[in-house]
Structure 1
Amino acid sequence: MPTGDAPMPHDAVIIGGSYAGLSAALQLARARRRVLIIDDGRPRNRFAARAHGVLANDGRPGSEIAATARAQVAAYPTVAFRQAEAVDVERIEHGFSIAFADGTKTQGRRLVLAHGVEDTPPEIPGVRERWGRTALHCPWCHGYEIGGGLIGVLGRGEHAVQYAAIVAEWGDVTLFVDPDFPLSQEEAHLLYRRGVTIEPTPIERLEGEAPTLTGARLADGRFTPLKAIFVGAHIRVANGFAESLGCEMNDTPMGRVIKVDALQQTSQPGVFAAGDVARAASNITLATSDGMIAAHALFRSLIEEEAAAA
């Protein structure tokens, strides 16, 4: 329990109210800590009709899973929600100040960055309007539902080869090779062993009545039938909060994420990061686990501070 009157209105401010943020909030609320969750209502998985591979929630819409979690967290009296866009964060004495788009501010002793990332799929006509339905990024999340058949894979470099080799478990895969990243003999041999067809001609556009996909029209005019395509989209951290606070970043094959230790602590004291913003592998289960770990470490940092001040 906190000792004395805290100088801040919140023990923790969590930016991002999806799976990682809600998981962190639940743990802190059960320790009777004062938590503010800031969310702009734009979760990364809003394009997908259903979430899969989530224990006890397999096949349930992601929005329903999040709504149930939000209602359970909201039942704790020390939790507050604010649906708004945070536009700036800065370190101040004893904590952090968070500014909103409407010009108001709030403060907290600790900060959890759980605002996720944005996917940046290739600018190929037909990809965006099918995103999350027949143009997909995670075979573990959606591969089973495709039900086999002809599947395309788009990717770059070594990651594309590994990606196609994995996706091959769920169908008859064609890898559309990026001409800027030619395959080595070893990579081509691995794909051959996995039954992957290598197509060197770039895709010009996807065809079919979106979100349905019937195939890809290639740059040379040929048409390749496909029922789905997995796209190794790059990710972009949704804002510059981490970098403005001085947090170290990690470069991954998918894009930059916030560097954290085993306790989800960033390189900056008092700043934690959880979920997709801190890992290249995206998954609801992993995000909720990250949130729990971050909350426990954050709580320990609070009690250590309070014990030192007593």
Structure 2
Amino acid sequence: MPTAPILQDLAEPAAERRGVRLRLLRDDWQHPELPGNKWRKLQYNLLAAREQGQNTLLTFGGAYSNHLAAVAAAGRLQGFRAIGVVRGEEAEALSPTLQQCRADGMQLHFVSREAYRRRHDPAWVAELLTALGPAYVLPEGGTNTLALRGVAELVQELDEAGEAYDALAVACGTGGTLAGLLTGLDGRRQAVGVAALKGADWLAAEVDALTEQAVGRRYTNYHLHHGAHFGGYASYSTELLGFIEEFYLRHRVVLDPVYTGKLLVGTLQLIEAGYFAPGSTVVAVHTGGLQGWAGFQQRFGSYPPAAV
């Protein structure tokens, strides 16, 4: 880690009509068990945990959380005990994500949705640590200053590989990955964040606060696109699932309905609308998240692409 970036050209009709070169950065291939932005967000946090003498990681997430799955896998691979504080009461049948977390050795601690809303409250977190033991605390989604440092290295890797591009596009949940890319770009190129949540008007302020905390400045070289959320976080539609299936048939690339499917839809919407100038090269970042397909299939039955 890391390996040289792998970029795949995407021959999409909208891009060809507008004279835009669309490429996909296969960051989902960077680590076999911690793909994409999850490893990038975790790597410097794990180093900090060791430096602080902590052997336990404590973090937060829902029953289908990519972040919980990543922390559980990181704990197993890096020799940390892991505790996942899970939103909602324990179900009779665990989600596939939580089953894998438990198989990776993560201790699952279920709390009510009301209690979970206090996850940013230092006093409540202190109560958890008193009950569960000392631990290095990772925020929900893994976004903090150290996470931004890891994500920023993606830009350095592209530069070192001599890859030319005009814009990077990434899916946005809490904004941490976009903020990390901005600190790496440092104003040199454009960044686009495709919001996966509905009504995420707060997202720009969150991105600005993250970059200011990390490097002491805010950036203006980014755009947030709110037109591809398909109803909100983890919401999907026949249209989105159809796009994911057709995209797989065209490119043999599996996207997920939570983040990367929306990323590609949103990026193509912007291309079609003329947001990128003709002759531009746009790199969309595939951040992984494919473990979530097991949960969709558990809840709704099997769904193409069959490669999942």
TM-score of the superposition, structure 1-length normalised?
Answer: 0.30
Which one has a larger percent helix, Structure 1 or Structure 2? 2
Which one has a larger percent strand, Structure 1 or Structure 2? 1
